[in-house]
Structure 1
């Protein structure tokens, strides 16, 4: 299970990184076209805001958790006993898994509904709405899978060795 999750995380993070690179290139090309040729690329902001930013945000979310880079309020954690930390981490991870599973299911249902209704976002190009939901569904489902796996490891061995510990600031 761990290796499947890691392959999915690496693939989704790679895709998010590629989309980040494409975003930077599109913004640069749009700026050059705007200031040198007085003719910006009309669809640039649409594709970035409708698709690329969604991919960048959601497909990297599970790998971000694995690296320990999500925001964590450790004001109380530092004062907890190891057992209380374990219980807190397990409960919070399970709750987060449920929340992101609801997001994954809801966005999948919205994606199917949008596809069946043949919905498009208006702009310079008519962009299909359902494509915006795809990375939300995939990223949320992957994070839920990672969190459930994390909880199972915490409950079975008391730790999750697959997570990287964040560096202290």
Structure 2
């Protein structure tokens, strides 16, 4: 494992812990809101905005890179099974390049939105004036981290092809590392 990968793994581990905390917080807030709504007719008026703007965005975007690193994303591997290791590496490089482009654009848009929202002090109107820049910043952080992971995978697969030895493993199918 390279120093870059160790650093990425460390950041992803922190994001994974934050994601777990966000999920637990979401569960507690929603449970309390439902109980208060049904038994005391006193819902938490701020719960919907908190969960929708911050907690769910964090749960999704902060888990992206770690999920990708763990290969927990959905993939179509019906054709990949028949390809050699070099072809699989090239396909993973292509998929990484597409992901870098898409999530780079998402991150760039999130950056612009974060700056504008922060500078304009944008908030959601309601009982609590929740700042909107925080949710945009969460999207920015998650997208940026995924782009870093994808750049690492792209470079590692290219290096593996050039050097003729595995820097990173190729796609695993059915728990068996391909190319063995």
TM score, norm. by length of structure 1: 0.92
Separation of aligned partners in 1, 2:130 and 2:84: 52
What's the C-alpha RMSD, in Å, of the aligned pairs?
A: 1.8
Distance 2:167 2:43 in 1: 49
Contact 2:22/2:55 (8 A) holds in 1: yes
Q: How many residues align?
A: 168
C-alpha separation between the residues in 2 aligned to 1:163 and 1:117? 46
Match of 1:43 among 43, 46, 52: 46
User: 2:5 maps to which residue?
Assistant: 2
Match of 1:124 in 2: 127
Instruction: Decide which of 27, 31, 34 is 2:30's aligned counterpart.
Output: 27
Residue correspondence of structure 1 range 11-160 to structure 2 within 5 A: 11-158=14-161, 159=166
**Helix, strand or coil: the match of 2:72?**
coil
User: What are structure 1's unaligned runs of at least 5 residues?
Assistant: none
User: CA, structure 1 residues 104+5, in 2 after alignment: closer, same or farther (shift >3 Å)?
Assistant: same
Of 40-49 and 155-164, the range deviating more from structure 2: 155-164
State how far apart, in whole Å, the 2-side matches of 1:165 and 1:141 are.
25
Q: 1:87 to 1:30 in 2, by over 3 A?
A: same
8 Å Cα contact 1:67/1:165 also seen in 2? no
Q: Could you say what secondary structure the match of 1:125 adopts?
A: coil
